[in-house]
Structure 1
Amino acid sequence: MRAYDFSPLYRSAIGFDRLAGMLDSASRLDAQAPSYPPFNVERVDENDTRVTMAVAGFTEDELEIEVKDQTLTISGKKSEESDDRTYLHRGIAARNFERRFQLADHVQVTGAKLENGLLHVDTRREIPEALKPRTISIQAANSDGQKTIEGSQAA
């Protein structure tokens, strides 16, 4: 197992300690991450992302999607079945699960739908106007409002 030293990052950057902690915990948790249910994360366009999770056998009532503290949690809890079925082979997993995804800043969950045994959760990155790049106009330095080019006034 690899251990990374993030102390040089702490010396030269301010406010990135959370990022370094996330990278460190992700590297430790990767080896013990659950593999059920399988999922895809796809980029739909520049600001939209979709998580698709295979949840065959689960109904909408048995699935729960929650966003709290920039963490998306998708969980499935199978209702207790009281049937008298005798399985010769049971290959369709019907166990409870919980998957967590860390959301970046300004990422919001915009919707979810269940179709054909796949749960699609859509997210969108929406950067506030105050954080978007803006152009600053340059004003002339002389008092009459005309710009000066090489010692002569421009019309």
Structure 2
Amino acid sequence: MGNLTRFHTADMPVLFDRIMKNSIGMDDYFDRFMNLHETTSNYPPYNLIQVNNVESRLEIALAGFKKKEVNVYTEFGKLFVEGQKEDTETAETFVHKGLAKRSFSRVWTITDDTEVRDVRFDDGLLVVTLGKVVPEHHARKDFL
């Protein structure tokens, strides 16, 4: 019992360096894990809904945005949603300004077997439908 080493959260980078020396092809997974603690903005607000065991729906509230100002794409196992809003100066005096209407970029990590099936933008709500690709040998087969 004298050889047991205790690790704390501050020791995680050192621990992962030790593990990564003995692993091949796991770099992406370790990088994702190490970057989980990074803080992200809460803007714009979103809902993530589990429709069933193979389909999810991401709803993002984009009040004040037009369809041409929003960009949705996937790259390297990540789903990117970006909104580019032009700064428009108005002569109006706001008593309260609760609608942000600012540019943003949000990123979600998606698994290798997840694909974007549909993207809709209606009435300030962006809806991204995600689905898991079920391999044929895992899909249900009825024989009788």
TM-score, normalized by length of structure 1?
0.69
- Determine the structure 1 residue equivalent to 2:100: 93
C-alpha distance in structure 2 between counterparts of 1:82 and 1:89, whole Å? 16
C-alpha distance in structure 2 between counterparts of 1:10 and 1:124, whole Å? 34
C-alpha distance in structure 1 between counterparts of 2:19 and 2:42, whole Å? 34
C-alpha distance in structure 2 between counterparts of 1:86 and 1:120, whole Å? 33
Structure 1 unaligned segments of length 5 or more: list them: 135-155
Tell me, what secondary structure is at the counterpart of 2:36?
A: helix
Q: How big is the shift at 1:60?
A: 1.0
Q: How big is the shift at 1:8?
A: 5.0
Structure number with larger C-alpha Rg: 1
CA displacement 1:77-125 (0-9 Å, x = unmatched):
1134354333232121111100011110121111112234321111111
Structure 2 unaligned segments of length 5 or more: list them: 1-7, 140-144
Q: State which of 51, 63, 80 in structure 2 corresponds to 1:44.
A: 51
CA displacement 1:25-63 (0-9 Å, x = unmatched):
112x1xx21111111222111111111111111111111
Structure 1 residues 126 and 133: alpha-carbon distance in aligned structure 2, compared to 1, 3 A threshold? closer
Letter of the 1:54 counterpart: A
Letter of the 2:103 counterpart: N
- Determine the structure 1 residue equivalent to 2:119: 112
Q: Report the RMSD for the aligned CA atoms in angstroms.
A: 2.5
Structure 1 residues 115 and 2: alpha-carbon distance in aligned structure 2, compared to 1, 3 A threshold? farther
Number of aligned pairs?
Answer: 128
Percent of residue pairs identical: 27
